Chains A and B, each alone.
Chain A
Amino acid sequence: MISASILRKYALLPLSGLAVACGSGGEPVKIAGGKPAAGAPAAADKIGQINVLVDASGGMQGFMHANAPGEPGSNFQQTVAALLSDVNGQHGAPAAYYFVKEATGADPRILVPTSYGALTSAVSTGIQRPALGTELPLMLAEALKLHAQRPGTVSLIVSDFIYSPKNSGETWRVKTDVKDALATADAARLAVSVFANTSEYRGNFYPGNRTRPQPLHGEKLPYYIWVLGAPALVAQVDGTLLKRLAGQPQAHFNTRFAPPYTALDHFQNKGEWYKTEPVAGVPTLGFTKSVSRKEPAEVVFGLDLKAVPAEWQKAAAQGLRLDAAATDATLLRTWPVAQEPAAAGKPYLQQYTYLAKIRVNQIPGAGALMHLTLPRQQPAWVAQTSTANDSNITKQGPKTFLLADVLQGVADYFADQPSAQLSLDLPIRVQRAE
């Protein structure tokens, strides 16, 4: 295509080349590949529907207490009201709102459709008739039923996520119940992001191990916002609608963050290579000269990790790994752009947050696919926030009954996905230039 535009351009030149040679020579042709690979999401990555599900059980009532004039409202009220407002204000996808309650003989529905107005007013002044509360696995399964009806659905579930099996002797199988609840969806096409937060609680707290309710007067209790949907869509929602919660403890299961990254061909580069057209969407480097252990090539990659979870960004400085395939390559160093003295005044470096320098010792004839990866780490806050006995919650502080088991169930469901091992997987293709 480029040669065609050149043909057109030069066909317009005046008869004598002298005029051109002395002048500017027209508008130069733009070269592809100058910009980072990851750009606007493709059509398949478009959110088709946003469902917001708010748990309307009695156990949530204490978060949605009435406020005296001048009171700022609980953290729950502020956060959820802001989230609902953001969902209502976005015009990317239609939104639907639901209360989650238990199924009764009179009304077997678990998800009760409602409106933005009714949901916000419930959040700010309390639920009119709090339900007994539905079981967590049932809530997840019901949410996923809506996903099956409409591709591209993302669900935001707001709840305390306390799962207490009816028979308290069966708490050991909480993991399995949660895993089974997700099983209606294909694990490769589902992701779950969990954002944790705490909020003051006024009212009766119903312990997960089914002991007597405890009246609380503003003690902090945890609540969670779960995001369910396709892996890329969940990442998109995490970075937009849930941006306010970026600093909160979070756990991601199969969520596919795609941070922009590129080889920097004018920064500490060694050896003769250049960026070619991406092969199957993978950034590709062509090497014009053979490289060896004695004469290795060096490539610095710029990674823009601004949109990935803060924990991962921190981990990236130490934790990035290189899967070198057949290139015998090594990751020499990973460092933040902020610590690179040469980055001052260089916008092409400033648009990235991390730099990773790779030394390539050989290029196989058929080329090779390397991977820059960030191994998955268990979020430490989960174990700290989980408790096996919440009968005396005031003494324990903000903890959730069997949270570790619940999230283990989610992790088990995604155990066979590559994301169970790797949080980030950034492929790089290297090949000999023809």
Chain B
Amino acid sequence: MFQQLFTSLYQALLGTPAPSSLIPVYQKSIFPGVGLSTFFAVALGMALVYYVVLNRLMTTALFKTSHWLLFVLLTAVAAALLAYSQAHSVVTESLNSSGVALEGIEQSAYNRYVLGFLCVNALFGALFFVFWSFVVKSFSTSARTTPVRWPN
């Protein structure tokens, strides 16, 4: 299910992976893997750090909307880094196992697609963080109304 879900999410914005020989690698491994870990590990993790660790367990002055926006940005950067490193390592492993090195036009197609993937995952990371914010904010004490009062 996640395989299809994340594949369609990414491909809706990026088109099918390029070079086309890497389509199975992206669809079976990179999209679901990066999608899931962005959704849970990165976005939910950052939301918990912001709302529970910083604004409940610890008493910091980071409850303002500007701090929250900073965390949106941090999540986006983390998601981008995750997308790049995962795509790079999975593709390298797959190519090495069949003894192939990308050349010329395939290499540039790969670079272009990975760049797009990195940007799209940054966007998804930010969106997922916003989503988790609304789920998690009620567990917080000092940031219950960040970024908005609703629904608390």
B and A form one assembly:
yes
Consensus secondary structure, chain A interface: loop
Contact A9/B33 with A29-B28, A266-B106 known, Cβ cut-off 8 Å: yes
- B99 and A348: CB pair below 8 A? yes
Provide the residues of chain A in CB contact with B146, threshold 8 Å. none
Mark each residue of chain A from 1 to 36: 1 if its CB lies under 8 Å from any CB of chain B, else 0. 011001101100111111011111101111111110
Mark each residue of chain B from 1 to 38: 1 if its CB lies under 8 Å from any CB of chain A, else 0. 01100000000000010111111110011001100111
Interface: A118 (CB within 8 A) = no
- A2 and B28: CB pair below 8 A? yes
Interface: A269 (CB within 8 A) = yes
- A346 and B99: CB pair below 8 A? yes
**Chain B CB within 10 Å — which of A6, A275, A433 has the most?**
A6
Q: Which of the candidate stretches B59-67, B80-88, B136-144 sits at the interface with the other chain? A: B80-88
- B25 and A31: CB pair below 8 A? yes
Interface: B111 (CB within 8 A) = no
A306 to B132, CA, bound (A): 59
Find the A residue at minimum CB distance from B2: A3
Interface: A265 (CB within 8 A) = yes
Q: How many residues of B contact A (CB 8 A)?
A: 44
Interface: B147 (CB within 8 A) = no
How far, in Å, is A94 (CB) from chain B's closest CB?
Answer: 39
Interface: B79 (CB within 8 A) = yes
Provide the residues of chain B in CB contact with A3, threshold 8 Å. 2-3, 28, 32
- B78 and A21: CB pair below 8 A? yes
- B94 and A2: CB pair below 8 A? no
A170 to B20, CA, bound (A): 65
Interface: A288 (CB within 8 A) = yes
- A10 and B33: CB pair below 8 A? yes
Q: How many residues of A contact B (CB 8 A)?
A: 42
- B24 and A276: CB pair below 8 A? yes
Interface: B69 (CB within 8 A) = no
Interface: A312 (CB within 8 A) = no
- A28 and B24: CB pair below 8 A? no
Provide the residues of chain B in CB contact with A29, threshold 8 Å. 28-29, 33, 90
Given A18-B78, A25-B89, A276-B24; 4 other pairs, CB 8 A cutoff = A9-B33, A15-B45, A20-B82, A347-B99
Task: Please list the residues of chain B having a beta carbon within 8 angstroms of any beta carbon in chain A.
Answer: 2-3, 16, 18-25, 28-29, 32-33, 36-38, 40-42, 45-46, 48-49, 78-79, 81-82, 85-86, 89-90, 92-95, 97-100, 102-103, 106
Task: Please list the residues of chain A having a beta carbon within 8 angstroms of any beta carbon in chain B.
Answer: 2-3, 6-7, 9-10, 13-18, 20-25, 27-35, 265-266, 269, 271-276, 286, 288, 346-348, 433
